[in-house]
Structure 1
Amino acid sequence: MFKKILIANRGEIACRVIKTAKKMGIKTVAIYSDADRNALHVQMADEAVHIGPSPANQSYIVIDKVMDAIKKTGAEAVHPGYGFLSENSKFAEALEAAGVAFIGPPKGAIEAMGDKITSKKIAQEANVSTVPGYMGLIADAEEAVKISNDVGYPVMIKASAGGGGKGMRIAWNDQEAREGFQSSKNEAASSFGDDRIFIEKFVTQPRHIEIQVLADSHGNAVYLHERECSIQRRNQKVIEEAPSPFLDEATRKAMGEQSVALAQAVGYTSAGTVEFIVDGDRNFYFLEMNTRLQVEHPVTELITGIDLVEQMIRVAYGETLPFKQDDLKINGWAMESRLYAEDPYRGFLPSIGRLTRYRPPVEMANKKKAVRNDTGVYEGGEISMYYDPMIAKLCTWAPDRATAIEEMRLALDTFEVEGIGHNIPFLAAVYEHEKFTSGNMTTAFIEEEYPDGFDGVTLPEATLHRIAAATAAMHRLAEIRRSRISGRMDNHERHVGSDWVVTLQGQSYPLTIAADKEGATVALGDDDTFRVESDWTPGDPLARLMVDGSPLVLKIGKVPSGFRVRYRGADLKVQVRTPRQAELAALMPEKQPPDTSKMLLCPMPGLIVKVDVAEGDEVQEGQALCTVEAMKMENILRAERKGRVSKINAGAGDSLAVDDVIMEFE
């Protein structure tokens, strides 16, 4: 077996590969840029080599720099992770020339399948059903518009070398095709060093289902069943699960066998993924083959018990697959949530900064459930503007889908992230949504269910009652503690009353607390009584309670006369007052937020790429005002209404913080 491998990647996937290598007794080499000098993957590896400045196109995707690191450390093999150089045939060729094993497919398979244009042509020649589109190279935006009209709107504009949702745009008209082509081209050049673009028909109401394949160099190939990846935002997967709640056994078998046949047709070895669009009648259409490990591979590992990274390493070493197709059964159900450094309340725009608090749920596994968290960050570390905004991949497993979802809900409840914007509230909301829990979703789920963006969740009345009872009991504990610290009275508990009014989500609940040594009984009116038990200590940011015997986990922040409570996608200001305080509070006027309606504010930390208007210009609703780049994604900011530009405060090349004023209107 290899004695030392280099991981040509960063972040959580580098950490993931290092874990398996250590388990196999293989030493590891990390590479890092300026921004990643203190990164977790650097700390975990046995050796680390600095390879250049922070931008990926000056470090992680510069083949010569990676090859130099291999030479310096004597690594015998390279695992590329995903993204960066993972599907770059020139990199595989350079490794082959240097006598270094590539823990991935052969160069020929990468060239045949790794390029989306080439792979679709091969699939068509093999009579595999594909989505209509234009596979040739596209010269400019005007040609993109002409092709889009020929294919028929809506169309998908995609980077040929793309992945992870980068370099992808949906266009519904000529203007969006023109703008989308240029933005996709720019993102593709920045992220992959390859700006080729192709266009295909965007199939409405599809499900995105993919098949995991694994092949060795001795002619053996298997499929490890499917993953459902239909919950997507901006064409980037957010939640994945295995198996799919939609497929029947016959469709699963047909998709799997077709995937294996395609892999064998191109002499594929190692792990790879064949992606399909599946319609409502379970007709499936080949999209592309990813010649690398996928972000969502952990759910496949959880339902099959196969360590895909280990098998990739063994295949690269020349070993034979230790199992046959009939050995690969589906065991239980697994869910994966991608935690991103992005603000769901601001259109999911990227968020950067320091993780002032990062406490994931405890990883565990037994016959009834499992929790797994693949991550590349740590408390006190920084989320950089230079790379993908993923914080972690949180996975749960259980014997059935409903239980796996419930385990994920609890895991998200206990996941503490502070210091940056993150999408945990949105993930929690999805897992509560009836369309998701029923399995009746398509890739249009987020677009259909959150057409105006995500602004939090309105919790049902029964849940509000549970939270009101819990926070009242917590507030009582905090009041007793304050009395003890101040020394106001000897009998602290007698000093703290039993009658309170809890206000949250626009509702007020008068209640009475009867406390004892084990907890408190909280009565909301005559018929609604809750038993609340907890070991929560005032000041703890996470409250784990039992309410009537069922777990309730709340993220807690302090506000005057109460708490900020975050739970299952809702962000609540909870006020706990005495009846007299509540009576007086009702007479107080609400503080009004400042008027920013005549300003264009920067929605995220980023770089102004260009400004499309000048002072004095009249703009129309929907008109592009400027483009802001953050985490390699270009975001076009548009006018919300008709108006005239009175002042421009920022220009191309300026770096801005959240809510900096870009321009003002009359």
Structure 2
Amino acid sequence: MFDKIAIANRGEIACRVIKTARKMGIKTVALYSDADRRALHVQMADEAIHIGPSPANQSYIVIDKVMEAVKASGAQAVHPGYGFLSENAKFAEALSAAGVAFVGPPVGAIEAMGDKITSKKLAQEAGVSTVPGYMGLINDAEEAVKISGEIGYPVMIKASAGGGGKGMRIAWNDAEAREGFQSSKNEAASSFGDDRIFIEKFVTQPRHIEIQVLCDAHGNGIYLAERECSIQRRNQKVIEEAPSPFLDDATRKAMGEQAVALAQAVGYTSAGTVEFIVDGDRNFYFLEMNTRLQVEHPVTELITGIDLVEQMIRVAHGQPLSITQEDVKINGWAMECRLYAEDPYRNFLPSIGRLTRYRPPAEVVEETRVVRNDTGVYEGGEISMFYDPMIAKLCTWGPSRPEAIEHMRHALDAFEVEGIGHNLPFLSAVMDHAKFGAGDITTAFIAEEYPEGFEGATLPEAHVDRIAAACAAMYRMSEIRRTRVSGRMDNHERHVAADWVVQVSGHGTPARDIVVHIDADKAGAFVSVAGKSLRVEGDWVPGASLAQMTLDGAPLTLKLAKLPGGFRVRNRGAELKVFVRSPRAADLSRHMLEKLPPDTSKLLLCPMPGLVVKMAVEVGDEVQDGQALCTIEAMKMENILRAERRGKVSKINATAGDSLAVDEVIMEFE
């Protein structure tokens, strides 16, 4: 077996590989850029080597720099993770020439299947059903418009070397095809160093289901069931699960066998993923093959018990698979939620900055419950504008799908992240969504269920009552502590009232006044709310930012921040302000004027920290509703900012190349 492996990647996947290598007794070498000097993967590895400036195109995807580091380290193999150079045939060739093993497929397989255009042609030749599209090279935007019209809108514009949603756009008309082609081309060049684009028919209402394959160099190939990846936003997966709630055994077997046959036809070895779109009648169509480890591989590991990274390393060392198809069993159900540095209340725009608080839920492995968190960050670390906004992948396992979802609900509620915008509330809301719970999902789920964006979850009144009861009990505890005088022996709890009004409001939650009465004892409190008495217990102490409570024995986890007279609460996707007031104070509060936000209707504000790529208008231009004003690049994605109404540009405060902070004024209108 190898003695030392270098990891040509960063973040959570580098940390993930290090964990398995450590388990196998293999030393690891981390590579890092300027921005990652103090990153978690650098701290975890046995050695670390600097490879260049922060931008990926000056460090992580520069083959010469990576090769210099690999040679200097003396590593016998390189694991590429995903993204960056993981599907780059030239990198695999360079490693082979240097006598270093590539923990991935051979060069020929990468060239055949890693390229989206070539893989589709090979699939067609093999008789695999594929989505209609144009597989040739597209020279410019006008040619893209012509091809799109011939295929028929809507179309998907995709980077040939793409993955992870980068370089992808859906176009519904000529204008969007023209604009999407250029944005996809720019993103592809920035993320992969390859700006080739292809276009295919966008199939509406599909499910995105992928098959995990594992092949060795001795002719053995197996499939490890499927993953459902239909919960996507901007063509990027957000929530995955295994197995799919939609497939039956016959379809699973047919898809799996076809995936393995396709892989073996090109001499594929290592772990790989064959992606399909599946319609409502369970007809499936080959989409692409990813010749690398997938982001969502943990859910497959949780239902099969197979460590995919370990298998990749063993295959790269020349070992045959020790697992046959008959050995692969589906055990229970697994969920994965991708925690992103994206603000769901600002249309999921990227957020960067310091993680002032980062406390994931405890990882557990029990007979009926598993909680796993793959991450590459730590409290006090920075979320950089240079890389993907992923913070962590939170996974849960249970014997059944409802149990896996329930474990995920509690794990999300217990996840503490502060200092940046993040999508925890949105993930929680999806877990509670009726259609998701029923498995009634397609790739259009987010667009259909949240057409105006995410504005917070709307909790049932009974659940809001539970939150009010818990907050009232906690607030009373805080008041008791406040009234005590240090050094006094007598109990001053008699000075704290038993009757309160809990005022609740928040994103998606109508404002309510909830009258409560509290009867406390040493073990907890009975809180009367809405005519029902709830036994409230927990180990929360004033000042703690997480409350693990039980109400009548049922768990309730609240993420808390102190407010004058109450709490800011996050639970089940809802962000609430909860004020606990005396009846008199509550009555007076209704007469208080609400502070209105400033009028920014005549300003274009930068919605996220980023780089100005292009200004599309000039001072004096008349703009129309929906017209492109400028393009901002953040976290490897281009974001086009558009006019919200008709107007005339009176002032422009930024130019291409400027780095802007969030809410910085880009331009002003008359």
Letter in 2 for 1:29: V
What is the distance in 1 between the residues matched to 2:143 and 2:271?
36
Match of 1:558 in 2: 562
1:601 to 598, 605, 611: 605
Tell me by how many angstroms 1:41 deviates: 0.4
What is the distance in 2 between the residues matched to 1:587 and 1:641?
35
Structure 1: which 5+ runs fail to align?
Answer: none
Give the SS at the match of 1:91: helix
What is the distance in 1 between the residues matched to 2:11 and 2:250?
38
Match of 1:583 in 2: 587
Tell me by how many angstroms 1:337 deviates: 0.4
What is the distance in 1 between the residues matched to 2:248 and 2:621?
57
Match of 1:337 in 2: 337
Equivalent residue runs for 1:268-279 within 5 Å: 268-279=268-279
Letter in 1 for 2:417: V
Structure 2: which 5+ runs fail to align?
Answer: 506-510
Give the SS at the match of 1:228: strand
Match of 1:123 in 2: 123
Match of 2:529 in 1: 524
Give the SS at the match of 2:148: helix
Letter in 1 for 2:49: V
**C-alpha spacing 1:366/1:273, structure 2 compared with 1 (3 Å):** same
**C-alpha spacing 1:488/1:590, structure 2 compared with 1 (3 Å):** farther
What is the distance in 2 between the residues matched to 1:69 and 1:59?
11
Q: Indicate whether 1:63 and 2:63 are aligned.
A: yes
Higher mean alpha-carbon deviation, 314-323 vs 641-650, is at: 641-650
Match of 1:401 in 2: 401
Contact 1:336 1:394 (C-alpha < 8 Å) held by counterparts: yes
Give the SS at the match of 1:392: strand
Match of 2:508 in 1: none
Contact 1:489 1:495 (C-alpha < 8 Å) held by counterparts: no
Equivalent residue runs for 1:168-179 within 5 Å: 168-179=168-179
Tell me by how many angstroms 1:655 deviates: 1.2
What is the distance in 2 between the residues matched to 1:378 and 1:619?
44
Q: Indicate whether 1:154 and 2:159 are aligned.
A: no
Contact 1:483 1:489 (C-alpha < 8 Å) held by counterparts: no
Give the SS at the match of 1:166: coil
Contact 1:105 1:268 (C-alpha < 8 Å) held by counterparts: yes
Match of 1:359 in 2: 359
What is the distance in 2 between the residues matched to 1:370 and 1:304?
13
Match of 1:143 in 2: 143
Tell me by how many angstroms 1:488 deviates: 10
* TM-score when normalising by structure 2: 0.98
Equivalent residue runs for 1:180-579 within 5 Å: 180-484=180-484, 490-505=490-505, 506-525=511-530, 527-579=531-583
What is the distance in 2 between the residues matched to 1:300 and 1:137?
35
Q: Indicate whether 1:661 and 2:661 are aligned.
A: no
What is the distance in 1 between the residues matched to 2:33 and 2:411?
32
What is the distance in 2 between the residues matched to 1:528 and 1:509?
12
Give the SS at the match of 2:272: strand
What is the distance in 2 between the residues matched to 1:487 and 1:441?
61
What is the distance in 2 between the residues matched to 1:435 and 1:510?
33
Give the SS at the match of 2:246: coil
Q: Indicate whether 1:634 and 2:638 are aligned.
A: yes
What is the distance in 2 between the residues matched to 1:99 and 1:458?
58
What is the distance in 1 between the residues matched to 2:90 and 2:591?
71
**C-alpha spacing 1:485/1:105, structure 2 compared with 1 (3 Å):** farther
1:312-360 superposed Cα distances (whole Å, 9 cap, x missing partner): 0000111111111011010000000000011111111110000000000
1:110-165 superposed Cα distances (whole Å, 9 cap, x missing partner): 00000000000000011100000000000000000000000111000000000110
1:45-75 superposed Cα distances (whole Å, 9 cap, x missing partner): 1111100000111111111111111111110
Tell me by how many angstroms 1:436 deviates: 0.3
Q: Percent identity?
A: 80
Q: Indicate whether 1:3 and 2:8 are aligned.
A: no
Letter in 1 for 2:200: E
Tell me by how many angstroms 1:486 deviates: 7.8
Letter in 2 for 1:590: E
Letter in 2 for 1:365: V
1:148-186 superposed Cα distances (whole Å, 9 cap, x missing partner): 000111000000000110000001111110110000000
What is the distance in 1 between the residues matched to 2:184 and 2:591?
54
What is the distance in 1 between the residues matched to 2:45 and 2:85?
19
Give the SS at the match of 1:161: coil
Tell me by how many angstroms 1:491 deviates: 3.4
* TM-score when normalising by structure 1: 0.99
Give the SS at the match of 1:257: helix
What is the distance in 1 between the residues matched to 2:527 and 2:297?
45
2:629 to 615, 625, 629: 625
Give the SS at the match of 1:650: coil
Paired residues, number? 665
Tell me by how many angstroms 1:657 deviates: 1.0
Tell me by how many angstroms 1:490 deviates: 4.8
1:570-613 superposed Cα distances (whole Å, 9 cap, x missing partner): 11111100011111111112111111111111100111111111
**C-alpha spacing 1:596/1:487, structure 2 compared with 1 (3 Å):** farther
1:284-335 superposed Cα distances (whole Å, 9 cap, x missing partner): 0000010000000000000000000000000011111111101101000000
What is the distance in 1 between the residues matched to 2:105 and 2:647?
55
Q: Indicate whether 1:613 and 2:605 are aligned.
A: no
1:611-654 superposed Cα distances (whole Å, 9 cap, x missing partner): 11112211100000111110111100001111111221222111
What is the distance in 2 between the residues matched to 1:14 and 1:625?
38
Q: Indicate whether 1:645 and 2:633 are aligned.
A: no
1:398-425 superposed Cα distances (whole Å, 9 cap, x missing partner): 1000000000000001000000000000
1:246-269 superposed Cα distances (whole Å, 9 cap, x missing partner): 000000000000000001100000
What is the distance in 1 between the residues matched to 2:630 and 2:431?
35
Tell me by how many angstroms 1:489 deviates: 11
Q: Indicate whether 1:101 and 2:101 are aligned.
A: yes
Give the SS at the match of 1:250: helix
Tell me by how many angstroms 1:485 deviates: 5.0
Contact 1:522 1:532 (C-alpha < 8 Å) held by counterparts: yes
What is the distance in 1 between the residues matched to 2:595 and 2:65?
56
Letter in 2 for 1:661: V
Letter in 2 for 1:635: N
Higher mean alpha-carbon deviation, 556-565 vs 243-252, is at: 556-565
Letter in 1 for 2:564: P
